[in-house]
Amino acid sequence: MADRLSGQADPLGSSPANASRDPGVENPRTPVSLHAATSRLRDPKRVLREWARDAAGSPPVAWRLFVRSLIQQYRHSSLGIVLAFAPVVLTALVFTFGRRSHLVAGEIGGVNSAFFGACGMLMGQAFLEAFNATRRLFAGNQALFRRQSLPVEGPLGAILLDLGFRYLIRLAVLALLMALFAVPPAVTLPLAAWGLVGLSLAGAGLGLLVAPPSALQQDINVFSSALPLILFTVTPVFMVPEPGSFLGAVHAANPLAWLFEGVRAAAYGAPGSLAAAAIGPLVALLMFVLGWFLCRIARPHVVERMLV
């Protein structure tokens, strides 16, 4: 494959008026990138240097993409941001009705079953939204990646801003649920907020790891459609299985279940490990960085395949 030089234009379509017409002349606003057939990993220092450069230059692009995404999501919605609260509210209503109809237990894990289910839905939603958002990093930004030499940091930063925005909403929902169901917060409540960050990071990291193959084939997309059912089965989202049962053994061996229980333990003193809420986000952060690195390395190949 022949080497080629390509300037990085403004990621949203504009280009500097004084940009050089010669692609081989470096412009301070449009740094030149060299793409070659040799492996980029042969020079680790250069890889890390380019990674740091792209990360440092991505915040303006990420912010503009985030604002554009918000406008697209809520411009034509009569309910607007209220939609972000809908899954948790509906879960609480279903469990409340089920309790009054004696279809579900009055208490689960020492608290009102409606509160338990709503909190589980809140945590499950944090994981699933992060996974699906980063899984579509390439597939959802094909137009940007095809048109210009855009690093992954811009769209990824916009995704993180959106997840941070939704995280703040979830904290408000959690506080509202604890007030409505009169659940006293534990002194370790800030640790629960940290554990909730870990759930988003775990979902985002897993999504980044599968983002390259997800953009090129449909197998991952098919699996993703079944992921909510799998998640709700192998983690304590809506119920706690019997300790000696098969499902109880699955929960006991599932690290994500440990994090769910750790967040609940830190929030209101439910059974669970506080260490899981403290350490889990650090492990999730490592997985996120690994997925980020994989997407950077895979970007030229994925973009080239998308052009075919």
Q: Identify residue 6 by its one-letter amino acid code.
A: S
- Exposure of 197 in the CB half-sphere (CA atoms within 13 A): 15
Q: Which of 27-31, 97-101, 213-217 has the highest mean pLDDT?
A: 213-217
The better pLDDT of the pair 63, 100 is held by 63
Phi, psi (rounded to 5 degrees) for 12: -105, 15
Cα–Cα distance measured from residue 308 to residue 158, given in angstroms and rounded to the nearest whole number: 27
pLDDT of 236 strictly over 90? no
Does 10 score more than 50 pLDDT? no
pLDDT at 205 over 90: yes
> Residue 33 above 60 pLDDT?
no
Report the C-alpha gap between 135 and 212 in whole angstroms: 8
Rounded distance between C-alpha atoms, residue 202 and residue 190, angstroms: 19
pLDDT digit string, tens, across residues 270-280 = 888 899 999 99
pLDDT at residue 78 tops 70: no
pLDDT tens figures, 172-204: 888 888 888 888 999 999 999 999 999 999 999
- Which of 91-100, 178-187, 204-213 shows the lowest mean pLDDT across its residues? 91-100
- Decide which of 91 and 114 is more confident: 114
- Higher local confidence (pLDDT), 40 or 256: 256
Main-chain phi, psi angles of 107, to 5 degrees: -135, 145
* Bigger pLDDT: 78 vs 164: 164
Q: Is the pLDDT of residue 104 over 60?
A: no
Query: Looking at per-residue confidence, does 281 or 78 come out higher?
Result: 281
Q: What is the pLDDT of residue 278?
A: 94
Q: How far apart are CA 124 and CA 200, in angstroms?
A: 9
pTM: 0.77
Mean pLDDT of 116-123: 86
More confident residue, 42 or 116: 116
Structure confidence at residue 71 (pLDDT): 74
pLDDT at site 265 = 92
Buried b (16+ CB within 10 A) or exposed e, 245-276: eeeeeebeeeebbbbbbbbbbbbbbbebebeb
Residue 251 confidence class, pLDDT cut points 50, 70, 90: confident
Examine the pLDDT at 135 and tell me if it is beyond 70. Answer: yes
- Assign 3-state DSSP to the chain and report helix, strand, coil percentages, each to 5: 70, 5, 25
Tell me the C-alpha distance between 159 and 66, whole Å: 7
Q: Residue 281 has what pLDDT?
A: 95
The chain-wide mean pLDDT, for the chain, equals 78
Q: What percent of the chain has pLDDT over 90?
A: 25
Residues in the chain: 308
- Angle at which helices 153-180 and 255-268 cross, to 10°: 50
Report the percentage of the chain scoring pLDDT > 70: 73
In this prediction, residue 131 carries a pLDDT of 93
